Structure 1
Amino acid sequence: MVAMTKRVKLFQIVFNDPSKTFYCSGDKVAGKIVVEVNDITRVSAMRVLGIGCAKVNYAKGKQRCRQEIDYLKYEEVVHLDDHPADTDGSVILRPGNKYEYTFGFELPQQGQLVSSYEGKFGSVQYYVKALMERASQPVLECKKTFDVEEPLDVNTPDLLSPAGGMKEKKVTCMFIPDGQVSLNAKIERQGFCEGEEILIDAKFENTCSRIVVPKAAIVAKHTYQANGHTKVFTQKLSSVRGNHIISGMCDAWLGKTIRVPKIKPSILGCRIIRVEYALMIYMHIPGSEKLVLELPLVIGTVPYSGLSSRSNSMSSQESTASNSWVSLRMPSSCPPSYCDVTRDTRLDQPLTPLLDDYDGGDSPIFMNSPQFTFPPLPPYSEVEEECNGNSHGNAHMLPVY
């Protein structure tokens, strides 16, 4: 922020490293205050403040809920280097010159700060403010914000532990029981970073008469507290869906993936603002409320350092698929005889729409009869095979496969 008046041409704060995107606890925030004037100006003092504050502000009925927490309070009087000062400490600035006041201070150690945040009903902001005190003149001020991102390592034992659960729900139609739906899901760990993929293992079962749709989504939960009141704001960030499950059927996800989008890390150490994430796995049931299972997530800044879970899962699935394919290729009985084989065995049916998915803008659901194709006919040739010595000249016609 640049402040200018009739007498002051330029008054701004410049950081030493303008390309630095964020600061962490223990880092040094350093820079200079640049001043240019149009007229001769006497500056009594130049003060620098480092401020960090969490604020919550929202309305609840006719009551205004406000609360603040300070995380950074720093103040220093800075001086011009190699510039004469009067006995009272004031200096005279003249037009045509550029004056620079240098400053620097360290941020508190880890555990004493909270990451920067800008939300719907609150914020966590850090900034440097400069105050120019002039004789018989109003105090002139300018400020410049900077971001703080506290490190959050997802490689801790708690965040590397898996999470899972099971939910079921009885479905009714006009107060008449209509079966139930159930889901059982788990994830391999709870800590993730931006861009990583979450692998979901889940099983869905549908015994009601309706067609249900399994889905998963990453949701954010923002909690604001002020004056003894709590306000919660939730937001869906990204989602995936599975196949429709008809009545009496079940489906399974083996390592289905959902990518963590570009989002701010979790904020867990602030008393008035809390940002939490969850993986919501649910089943959409037409005409009824969803069946929802929420698994906790923590979004960190230090990525997972172990082996790629995606690679392990894919290799496991490939191994399983390979074994299944081998078992399919090995026949358990003799090839079919000619009398059992028909020339045209495919059943072609038109696509039949079943229902609309009321939980999104997806295409209508269609059902198509599966295609059955028997393997090609085995090669056939006639050979003569001699029997035992008692039957000379006799031969049997045998098919060769």
Structure 2
Amino acid sequence: MSNTVKNISVTYNPINQGNTFTSGDFISGQVILDVAKDTQIQSLSVKIKGKADVCWSERYGQTTIVYSDKEKYYSVKRFFILEDKTHGHDREMLNDPSGQPYSSVVAPGRHVYPFTFQLPQQHFPPTFRGSVGKIVYGLEAKLERSMRVSSKDRAEFHYVPKDDLPGPELMAPQYGTKDKQMKLLTSGSVSMNINTEKMGYYLGEGLKVLAEVQNNSSRSIKPKYCLYEKHSFFAQGKRRVHTHNILKEEGEPIESNSKKTATKVLLIPPSLTTSVLNCRILKVEYRLRVYLDVPFASDPEIKFPVVILSPQPAKNSDFGIWNQPPGSNVYPILPPMAPQAPPHNVVGPPGQFGPPGYPGPPLDQFGATGFSAPPGQFGPNSHQSAPSAPPPYQDYQSYPKLPDYPKKS
């Protein structure tokens, strides 16, 4: 950062206590610019974007190969200031409250440039960070000046997909049966019939397992339960898999030559990442493993897929006001993420955005506009839905066939 440009930052305003966003939500914020003296600006912009990327390396003898891939969901850029308007017809400009362009010469002091986007209506995968891959959503402010290194600031926000009603395949019971003949140090046989109420569960919900075990072996056995996560990353025809046990529990012992039916309830931890099944380059899946701990023998086991769903956060009276219908003449107080001290030299005259009769600039399919308002006021004036997305990947019991990735030259 140069002596002239003291600071540039981008912040956004929460709309609920969980500080999460979902499809169709408005996300408003401000780019804050502090300059020490009159500054000529070439461009000042804000971008909203969502993407997934994976990257890892593998060593083969003396050779190291890097595998990487990306998947972009959306990227929308809007300009507050743009000197070169040669291609202005395809550059969306954000104006001040009076509808006039912002000046490219910025006076000393602090300047606040407000913005609003609307998240697309498509069903995107949730925010996620894994060992070699991630899914991120965020905002980026960028300042460019002639013959100077550009200045940037980023702010990530947490996205959760809109929770549609689970389909019948997620609500159907699951069944599994396993028989095993003992050998060597343990004689006889064991069998188990396992069923769960459904496949889809919300965070914090109880996963009920019903186990019917017939122990015809010569030893006492014990049923055990393990819920684990499986992260799969795909790039250039390769796949890397990481698994991690989330919780493990065990049932009461079942004596030799006896039969027992037991019920076990496993609590889904509220901190888990929801299942990611609609991303081409990474997947987050969960499995329930039920097995019998048999002494001196391999353990018979049954695995069930588990899909973790996330309920939408309720908009309470303090935060829900941010998602008022378009044209609503309601102005909330900025949550704590907004600037606390009143900025000086705020760009644009004081005023309100969204009162009845104010036409405002048109919103595109992402809801981007160039309104300006004093801190603590918000009110987008129109809405246009983005095209619907194809349904998410539904085959929860198998991996998708990997596409033929082009080889890098």
TM-score (norm 1): 0.68
Say whether the 8 Å CA contact 1:44–1:90 is kept in structure 2. Answer: no
Say whether the 8 Å CA contact 1:45–1:90 is kept in structure 2. Answer: no
Residue 286 (structure 1) aligns with: 295
1:12 is the counterpart of 2:24: no
Distance in 2, matches of 1:15 and 1:178, equals: 66
Distance in 2, matches of 1:7 and 1:300, equals: 49
Distance in 2, matches of 1:65 and 1:286, equals: 42
Structure 2 letter corresponding to 1:220: E
Say whether the 8 Å CA contact 1:10–1:35 is kept in structure 2. Answer: yes
Residue 81 (structure 1) aligns with: 96
1:257 is the counterpart of 2:265: yes
Q: How does 1:22-171 map to 2 (within 5 A)?
A: 22-61=20-59, 62-79=64-81, 81=96, 91-95=104-108, 97-111=109-123, 113-153=124-164, 155-171=166-182
Residue 229 (structure 1) aligns with: 238
Deviation at 1:115, TM superposition (A): 0.9
Structure 1 letter corresponding to 2:20: F
Deviation at 1:223, TM superposition (A): 1.1
Higher relative contact order (CA 8 A, sep 6+): 2
Deviation at 1:83, TM superposition (A): 10
Residue 240 (structure 1) aligns with: 249
Say whether the 8 Å CA contact 1:78–1:102 is kept in structure 2. Answer: no
Which protein has the bigger helix share? Answer: 1
Deviates more, 1:288-297 or 1:161-170: 288-297
Say whether the 8 Å CA contact 1:217–1:279 is kept in structure 2. Answer: yes
Distance 1:58 1:287, change over 3 A: farther
Deviation at 1:48, TM superposition (A): 1.4
Deviation at 1:180, TM superposition (A): 2.1
Structure 2 letter corresponding to 1:252: T
Say whether the 8 Å CA contact 2:14–2:20 is kept in structure 1. Answer: no
Say whether the 8 Å CA contact 1:187–1:198 is kept in structure 2. Answer: yes
Distance 1:19 1:133, change over 3 A: farther
SS in 2 for 1:66: strand
Deviation at 1:106, TM superposition (A): 2.0
Distance in 1, matches of 2:239 and 2:273, equals: 21
1:211 is the counterpart of 2:220: yes
Distance 1:220 1:152, change over 3 A: farther
Distance in 2, matches of 1:90 and 1:133, equals: 14
Say whether the 8 Å CA contact 2:215–2:254 is kept in structure 1. Answer: yes
Deviation at 1:236, TM superposition (A): 1.3
Deviation at 1:118, TM superposition (A): 0.6
Say whether the 8 Å CA contact 1:49–1:75 is kept in structure 2. Answer: yes
Residue 327 (structure 2) aligns with: none
Gaps of 5+ in 1: 304-401
Identity between Structure 1 and Structure 2 (%): 27
Q: How many residues align?
A: 293
Distance 1:18 1:44, change over 3 A: farther
Distance in 2, matches of 1:284 and 1:197, equals: 23
CA deviations 1:67-108 (Å, max 9, x no partner) are: 10001211111246379999xx8622233x210112222222
Deviation at 1:5, TM superposition (A): 3.5
Structure exhibiting the larger radius of gyration computed from Cα positions = 1
Say whether the 8 Å CA contact 1:171–1:178 is kept in structure 2. Answer: yes
Distance 1:33 1:122, change over 3 A: same
Distance in 1, matches of 2:160 and 2:100, equals: 40
Distance in 2, matches of 1:29 and 1:116, equals: 16
CA deviations 1:160-218 (Å, max 9, x no partner) are: 110111012222117xx722222111011111111111221111122222332101122
Distance in 2, matches of 1:230 and 1:210, equals: 41
Following TM superposition, where does structure 1 have runs of at least 4 consecutive aligned residues deviating by more than 6 angstroms? 82-86
Say whether the 8 Å CA contact 1:154–1:160 is kept in structure 2. Answer: no
